[in-house]
Structure 1
Amino acid sequence: MNAHAATRSGRLRARRAATGSVREGAARAGLVARGVIYLLVGALALRIAFGDGGHQADRSGALEEISTKSFGAVLLWALGAGLVGMALWRLSEALFGAAGREGRTARTRLLSAVRCVFYAFVAYSVLSFAAGAGGTASSDQQSRDVTARALEWPGGQWIVGAAGAGAVVVGVWIAARAVLRRYREQLKLGEMSRHVRRAVDTTGVAGGVACGLVFGAAGAFAVRAAVDYEPDRAKGVDDTLRSFAETPLGPWLLACVAAGLVLFGVFSCAMARWQRV
């Protein structure tokens, strides 16, 4: 009986170790894939800021950019596989809890479930593109189409307005967490040198603020579309980024935000190395 219990206990430990390894690999691959997308979107936005406006500074533009490179098809499949890993990692967090002292709370599990759905959608779009299903629609066109359909529903204005307000709140939340360096709770700080921590803080704060600003601005445009009952006022990532160049600060503000997105891509890759999973 004792031998049987010991064997069963050994199998459970082996299964947990294997599951943990798979989860960690999926998480780190997903973080790298996310970082690559942000790096490319930020780089495309920088080109727009400096006068080259012939590219879409969003996920579809990033995929088009990858497809033109040597081994582009291989890179697209790798990117899609990484995003599948990200979705599976978030699913495991929703089901079994995440790392950290609040990893098993209902709020954390719900947030992980939302992230799982989001990254599953992104992974599907990337893999569809890699499989040759045609170019993905720009984020601007998708935003206008979704807004137009939603406005036709009963209470559509309220739904679109609430979604836009929610995006604004998410943007503020992302930026605030970055400024407060809440991401440090998820990092293996003890394994990082002082210089590495400083570099990660630079990319994390600047990148998080830039991402929050883009989310918040896109949400504000959605609220305006709901109030005016005009779906064309809704903007995706590309149009939202371009709108920064229309402010009194001009292209310099767009350049700063674009640089922030590049830094967030670097930060995501750093998280792939140092985050506790």
Structure 2
Amino acid sequence: MNATAIAREGRRDAERAARGSVTEGAARAGLVARGVIYLLVGALALQIAFGDGKRQADRGGALAELSDKPFGAVLLWALGAGLVGMALWRLSEALFGSVGRDGRSAKKRLLAVVRCVFYGFVAYSVLSFAAGSGGGGQGASDKQSKDVTAKVLEVPAGQWIVALAGAGVAVAGVWIGVRALMRSYQEDFKLGAMSPWTRRLVDVTGVGGGAARGLVFAAAGAFAVRAAVDYEPDKAKGLDDTLRSFADTPLGPWLLACVAAGLVLFGLFSFALARWRRV
């Protein structure tokens, strides 16, 4: 066997390993971890909508809420480990392609890289919180958004960078919402393994949860664009401030309650993905 054949066989072995049971387990654990975070953030936002919110409705608030539960430290470490699994799964998709149509395309691989970096950062923040460094502490998303925006605005072409980044997040939010409304997620599910009732329930969580998640992303991106245009970093908002801004609309806290309920639905949708997604 020549060197080329050996290398080809090595790549096939690596790909089989990447698609093996370990990677599948990591992917499903990561989806469960994501679901837990969205459930907690949605629940905290619901408390804010009804005037009883004592914690920030963001990842830091969710982690603080979880840490107060029995065996909270164990749960935090398990959550962080699950998110590491999510990052590794996305890395395997970037290297070897994902399942489904056009899974090996450059577009899908690039999207997998972005997701890998994102979930790697989220996993780091959760594990830092679990280790006691406070990396995911309360209000972190709002303060980080303002601090990062302020630093970027100070560099040459900073306004353009912030504006383009904000526009990118807003467009991503619209894309997430539209895909949810079109039920594009169905191509990822093992529909044959689901009963008709289960498929209807998943559609409720997928459409409602995806639309709410997309709306939050779009609003956060719009606030970043506004901060760039006005050259005022304080107008950039993290997740908590973005959610609270929905209560300042003419619809008042009811819009925030609807968005918060949508985030809870997305948490449930993540659990459904963990159970029936094709990996």
Aligned residues: 268
Structure 1 length normalisation: TM-score?
0.94
The letter for the 2-side match of 1:134 is: G
Q: Give how far 1:139 is off.
A: 0.4
Q: Give how far 1:133 is off.
A: 1.2
Q: C-alpha distance in 1, partners of 2:136/2:274?
A: 27
The letter for the 2-side match of 1:121 is: F
Deviations 1:183-205 (CA, angstroms, capped at 9, x unpaired)? 00100001100000000000000
Partner of 2:153: 151
Percent identity between matched residues is 76
- 2:20 aligns to what SS in structure 1? helix
- 1:246 aligns to what SS in structure 2? coil
Whether 1:126 aligns to 2:126 is yes
Task: Pick from 163, 182, 185 the counterpart of residue 183 of structure 1.
Answer: 185
Deviations 1:110-135 (CA, angstroms, capped at 9, x unpaired)? 00000000000000000011111125
Structure 1: where are the runs of 5+ without partners? 2-8
Q: C-alpha distance in 2, partners of 1:62/1:261?
A: 13
Q: C-alpha distance in 1, partners of 2:18/2:246?
A: 47
Q: How does 1:1-277 map to 2 (within 5 A)?
A: 16=16, 20-134=20-134, 136-137=136-137, 138-277=140-279
Q: Give how far 1:87 is off.
A: 0.1
Q: C-alpha distance in 1, partners of 2:170/2:63?
A: 26
**Partners of 2:76 and 2:130 within 8 A in 1:** yes
Q: C-alpha distance in 1, partners of 2:53/2:131?
A: 28
Ranges of 4+ aligned residues in structure 1 off by more than 6 Å: 12-15
Q: C-alpha distance in 2, partners of 1:18/1:154?
A: 42
Q: C-alpha distance in 1, partners of 2:16/2:117?
A: 25
The letter for the 1-side match of 2:145 is: S
Q: C-alpha distance in 2, partners of 1:114/1:17?
A: 22
Q: C-alpha distance in 2, partners of 1:53/1:14?
A: 48
Q: C-alpha distance in 2, partners of 1:96/1:144?
A: 37
Q: C-alpha distance in 1, partners of 2:130/2:274?
A: 23
Q: Give how far 1:19 is off.
A: 5.0
Q: Give how far 1:159 is off.
A: 0.2
Q: Give how far 1:142 is off.
A: 0.5
Q: C-alpha distance in 1, partners of 2:44/2:185?
A: 26
Deviations 1:55-98 (CA, angstroms, capped at 9, x unpaired)? 10000000000111110000000000000000000000000000
Q: C-alpha distance in 1, partners of 2:178/2:85?
A: 27
Q: Give how far 1:18 is off.
A: 8.0
Deviations 1:205-229 (CA, angstroms, capped at 9, x unpaired)? 0000000000000000000000000
Q: Give how far 1:16 is off.
A: 2.7
**Partners of 2:18 and 2:92 within 8 A in 1:** no
Structure 2 length normalisation: TM-score?
0.93
- 1:134 aligns to what SS in structure 2? coil
Q: C-alpha distance in 1, partners of 2:169/2:13?
A: 42
- 2:126 aligns to what SS in structure 1? helix
Structure 2: where are the runs of 5+ without partners? 2-8
Q: C-alpha distance in 2, partners of 1:14/1:107?
A: 22
The letter for the 1-side match of 2:258 is: C
Q: Give how far 1:136 is off.
A: 2.5
* Aligned Cα root-mean-square deviation (Å): 1.6
Q: C-alpha distance in 1, partners of 2:275/2:142?
A: 33
Q: Give how far 1:53 is off.
A: 3.1
Q: Give how far 1:54 is off.
A: 2.0
- Shift of the 30–19 alpha-carbon distance from structure 1 to 2, 3 Å rule, reads same
